[in-house]
Amino acid sequence: MLTAQENEQLTRVGAGTPMGELQRRYWHPIAAVEELKDSYTKRVRLLGEDLVLFRDRGGKLGLIAEFCPHRRASLAYGIPEMDGIRCPYHGWKFDATGACTDQPNEPAGSTFKDRVHASGYAVQALGGMVFAYLGPQPAPLLPKWDGFVAEGAIRHVGQAIVPCNWLQIMENSLDPVHTEWLHGHLQEFIEEKAEQAGTRYQISRHHLKIAFDEFPYGIYKRRLLAGASEESDDWRVGHPILFPNILAVGSGGGHLWKVHAYQMRVPMDDENTLHYWYMAYEPPAGVDVPPALLERTARYDFPYRDEAGEFRLNIVDAQDVMAWITQGRIAKRELEKLGTTDSGVILYRKMLQRELAKVARGEDPMGVIRSAAENDALSIPVERDKAHFTDGFESHMRRTQVQHSPFAQDLKRVFADFSRQRLAEKIPILNHA
Ligand code: FES
Ligand SMILES: [Fe+2]
């Protein structure tokens, strides 16, 4: 458990707070590139700040404070120009750095505009996503995680605003045993109630042991499930959390398709988190992928609640969201009773505290990349033959929010064609099949 004060320190993300300063040392995803295709602006709430992401008519992206320095109207309704955006109220113009470059109704020759500046932050696009950096300059490099730079991959990204603090979402990723219950026994109970007897999954398999290894970019978590060998990818390789707020998972697909899955938890403020489920599917040579699937990173909303407002508890990702939200807006860690299986959560909290101290000393925290050579060589292994998804893509689709992607049906077709062809050639689809 943490004291109420320690909990406060690890959860608050506003400017000037210890965790707010740590989070400001990293790039955060704030939009899919395609959101700025049909619109010139998008409201962004990030680390307690209200911002506007905009595209000017020159195609340049900017991220500046939402409320105009003049009399606080919203720049989300601004008028784009070749090199900036004008406030809709009185036409003051701002460039991508937040500098005020024109005040059309001030006297000619006035230097007033030179003394007006909105907060402006760096943005960069990668893998179909737009990332923002709110910290001190010089900004570190935007990490080239495998799935964001893989050539010829099919990409899509699900999104949900989760009304709780970012930390309880991340702690879920340091807690392997929850899968056995939340995605296993609960799933079976939901099926029992729906009279879908006879589960086809083996996700409730017991954890024989779990392990956590720190590495330069975060923590690897590993699990040995009942019936699996120590040679299984789940135990031998495991999967990492990329410090501080990304989970990287390998999801089925065997060793032929390379599937990169990232769950990115972006703190909007102390009590809300923008959650992205980003997927990149790298096809093996010879797979016929419709060009439409390669042209964009499709963004979709993940409706984790049904029409009646209840959690969709037959979907793995919604099971997680239920657990996160029901812990409260900010989980009261001073009331917890941690057990032996919480060793990953404890390790992660200790790392957060250690890295907060580094930032307070003026040092870079872990995983901040400043060397291009390091960034170009960034490759983070993840498990491939995930024991959870032994029936492959069908199961992955049915059990995750991927079923809500606009690419869902096309993906299903591509995978089905691939499987048929492989079966005809008698090549196993999963290496452990
Ligand atoms: S409020 Fe923006 S120009 Fe007046
Ligand atoms: Fe989970």
**CATH code of the domain covering residue 257:** 3.90.380
Number of domains in the chain: 2
Determine, yes or no, domain membership for 365: yes
Specify whether 188 is located in the same domain as 310.
Answer: yes
Specify whether 80 is located in the same domain as 154.
Answer: no
Is 430 a residue whose pLDDT tops 50? no
Instruction: Give residue 93's pLDDT band: very low, low, confident or very high (50, 70, 90).
Output: very high
Determine, yes or no, domain membership for 71: yes
Q: What's the gap in Å between 119 CA and the centre of ligand 1? A: 15
Determine, yes or no, domain membership for 386: yes
Final residue before a domain boundary, out of 101, 133, 165: 133
Are 275 and 169 in contact by the 8 Å Cβ rule? The answer is yes
Q: Which ligand is the nearest neighbour of the Cα of 65?
A: 1
Query: What is the per-residue pLDDT across 71-85, written as a single tens digit (0 to 9) for each?
Result: 999 999 999 999 999
Specify whether 101 is located in the same domain as 190.
Answer: no
Final residue before a domain boundary, out of 100, 133, 166: 133
Tokens of 174: 């340091």
For ligand 2, a single-atom ion, the residues with CB < 5 A are 320
- pLDDT at position 193 is 83
Q: Which amino acid is at 228?
A: A
Specify whether 187 is located in the same domain as 50.
Answer: no
- pLDDT at position 398 is 77
- The pLDDT of 173-194, averaged and rounded, is 91
- Of all residues in the chain, the percent with pLDDT exceeding 90 is 77
Tokens of 345: 């959560």
Specify whether 364 is located in the same domain as 406.
Answer: yes
Q: Which ligand is the nearest neighbour of the Cα of 399?
A: 2
* Domain, as residue range, for 53: 31-133
How many CB atoms sit inside 10 A of residue 197's CB?
8
Is 427 a residue whose pLDDT tops 70? no
- Give alpha helix (H) positions in 140-201: 146-149, 166-172, 178-180, 186-193
Is 389 a residue whose pLDDT tops 70? no
Determine, yes or no, domain membership for 50: yes
Specify whether 57 is located in the same domain as 168.
Answer: no
Residue nearest to atom 1 of ligand 1 (CA): 71
Q: Which ligand is the nearest neighbour of the Cα of 75?
A: 1
Tokens of 14: 């506003």
Specify whether 210 is located in the same domain as 303.
Answer: yes
**CATH code of the domain covering residue 47:** 2.102.10.10
Specify whether 302 is located in the same domain as 156.
Answer: yes
Q: Which ligand 1 atom minimizes the distance to the CA of 73?
A: 1
Specify whether 119 is located in the same domain as 153.
Answer: no
CA dist 111 and 94 (Å) reads: 15
Specify whether 156 is located in the same domain as 121.
Answer: no
Determine, yes or no, domain membership for 369: yes
Determine, yes or no, domain membership for 6: no
Specify whether 111 is located in the same domain as 253.
Answer: no
Specify whether 47 is located in the same domain as 75.
Answer: yes
Query: What is the per-residue pLDDT across 262-277, written as a single tens digit (0 to 9) for each?
Result: 999 999 999 999 999 9
Ligand 1 pocket residues where CB is under 6 Å: 68, 70-71, 73, 87, 89-90, 92
Give the global pTM. Answer: 0.94
210: phi then psi, degrees, rounded to nearest 5: -130, 155
Q: What single-letter DSSP state applies at residue 340?
A: G
- The pLDDT of 213-236, averaged and rounded, is 93
